[in-house]
Amino acid sequence: MNKKFYYLLILGVLIGCDNIELPIETKDAVGFLDGGNPSIKEETLLEKEGIAKGIQKTFSFDVGKKTHNLDLIFDESVLAFYQKAPKSYSYTTPQLPDNWEEVYYNMFLKNEKDKAFMVEIIRKLYNLKSNMTRDEMVTFVVAFVQGGLEYDWEGFYDVNDKLNYPYETIFAKKGVCSDKSLTLSRLLTIMGYETVLLTFPKANHMAVGIRVPEGFGNMGTPYAYIETTNYSAIGRVPEKFVGDIKIEENPIIIQLENSGKRIFEKIKTNKIEEKKLAKKYGAAYINASAASKSLIESMTNLKTTVDSLKKELEILGCEGSVSEEKYDTCENLQEKINKKVNRYNQEVEAYNALNDN
């Protein structure tokens, strides 16, 4: 949920999901995480040694207060394969099978034609930070899907919109909740994590669940909830969702055939750190973008400084009529406060503009 900040006023003596179409061996990724990270420009055609002719795109996303860029090359033949691949569920029995959702969604995740591409994404994410642990990589993978792929509003409003394969979603650089959830689950299963899809039929919404230690799951499940439509910490169910949907139900858990067995242990230390940050900067800080985080920190520091200067002003007895010998001191102090307040108000406007949605 986006939090609005409000202007700071100092009065002193000197201051005037999307649409889900209804039916008609996991390998350890660390072994692939070696090699360089070639510099590639946005959406240009090229042919490199050992790389088929393809389309290049650049993706930007935030982790903490830093924005990262990731360059990827798409194989046109792979893209054409997925564009022609089936996207509807069919059955021959008189009744719709009870497990139709599991069969249907796994259909988008089983084909190995995108495996090398997905491993390359993980490898490049690994290269963005030195000596990352596997659990730290999860944070980068989640942020890549949350921020590097935009939410597809056209798809949200299109009742005929069909699910895309993860390769297609990444190529389009956008997707609805189901597209982005399938993409994230594909990457996490390749990394070896126990991953599920969480569906909410009444809300027409989908998210991802990752296995966590006992006591850290969400919604009565052993899985931490991961929202894919926007930045949101692992294990935090947002207060506000895209499209103003409301989740008032427990999820249906969709098991994935290629799911690994790893548990996301880092959620324990993440929760401790999130609690400290929320106490210092407010709950909105946890799910904020890099730009918003920087503004929240700056506004918090400015407010602390203003409060300290106001206290100093009070101790000096600068309110009301002041003696001539105190006037210059009080005036200089009030000018400092006014400058800080003006800067704070400017940052309030910048923050609200970033989060006015």
Instruction: Give, in degrees to the nearest 5, the angle at Cα 349 between 347 and 353.
Output: 115
Task: Note whether 200 and 296 are same-domain residues.
Answer: no
Residue 1 lies in a domain: no
pLDDT digits (tens, 9 = 90+) for 300-337: 999 999 999 999 988 888 877 778 778 888 889 999 99
Whether the predicted pLDDT of 249 surpasses 70: yes
Domain boundary among 262, 282, 302: 282
Whether the predicted pLDDT of 194 surpasses 50: yes
Whether the predicted pLDDT of 45 surpasses 70: no
CA dihedral 254, 255, 257, 258 (to 10 degrees): 100
Whether the predicted pLDDT of 10 surpasses 50: no
Average pLDDT on 200-225 reads 95
pLDDT digits (tens, 9 = 90+) for 223-235: 999 999 999 999 9
Residue 22 lies in a domain: no
Task: Note whether 160 and 232 are same-domain residues.
Answer: yes
Residue 145 lies in a domain: yes
Task: Note whether 327 and 244 are same-domain residues.
Answer: no
Task: Note whether 106 and 194 are same-domain residues.
Answer: yes
What is the model's pLDDT at position 322? 73
Q: How many CA atoms lie within 13 A of 176 on its CB side?
A: 22
What is the total count of domains within the chain? 2
Task: Note whether 149 and 226 are same-domain residues.
Answer: yes
Task: Note whether 317 and 341 are same-domain residues.
Answer: yes
Q: Which residue has the higher pLDDT, 248 or 194?
A: 194
Residue 51 lies in a domain: yes
Q: Residue 45 has which token pair?
A: 């055609």
Whether the predicted pLDDT of 81 surpasses 50: yes
What is the model's pLDDT at position 357? 60
Task: Note whether 188 and 80 are same-domain residues.
Answer: yes
Residue 27 lies in a domain: no
Residue 21 lies in a domain: no
Task: Note whether 278 and 304 are same-domain residues.
Answer: no
* CB contact at 8 A, 264 and 234: yes
Beta-strand ranges (E) seen in 152-287 are: 174-175, 195-200, 205-211, 223-226, 252-255
What is the model's pLDDT at position 161? 65
3-class state of residue 124 by DSSP: helix
Task: Note whether 245 and 184 are same-domain residues.
Answer: yes
Domain boundary among 249, 282, 315: 282
Residue 7 lies in a domain: no
Q: Which of 258, 257, 184 is nearest to 224 (CA)?
A: 184
Task: Note whether 308 and 173 are same-domain residues.
Answer: no
Task: Note whether 231 and 312 are same-domain residues.
Answer: no
Average pLDDT on 196-221 reads 95
Task: Note whether 341 and 227 are same-domain residues.
Answer: no
Q: Is the pTM of the predicted complex or chain greater than 0.95?
A: no
Position 245 confidence tier, pLDDT thresholds 50, 70, 90? confident
Query: What domain range is 103 assigned to?
Result: 41-282
Whether the predicted pLDDT of 346 surpasses 80: yes
Domain boundary among 282, 309, 340: 282
pLDDT digits (tens, 9 = 90+) for 162-189: 899 999 999 999 999 999 999 999 999 9
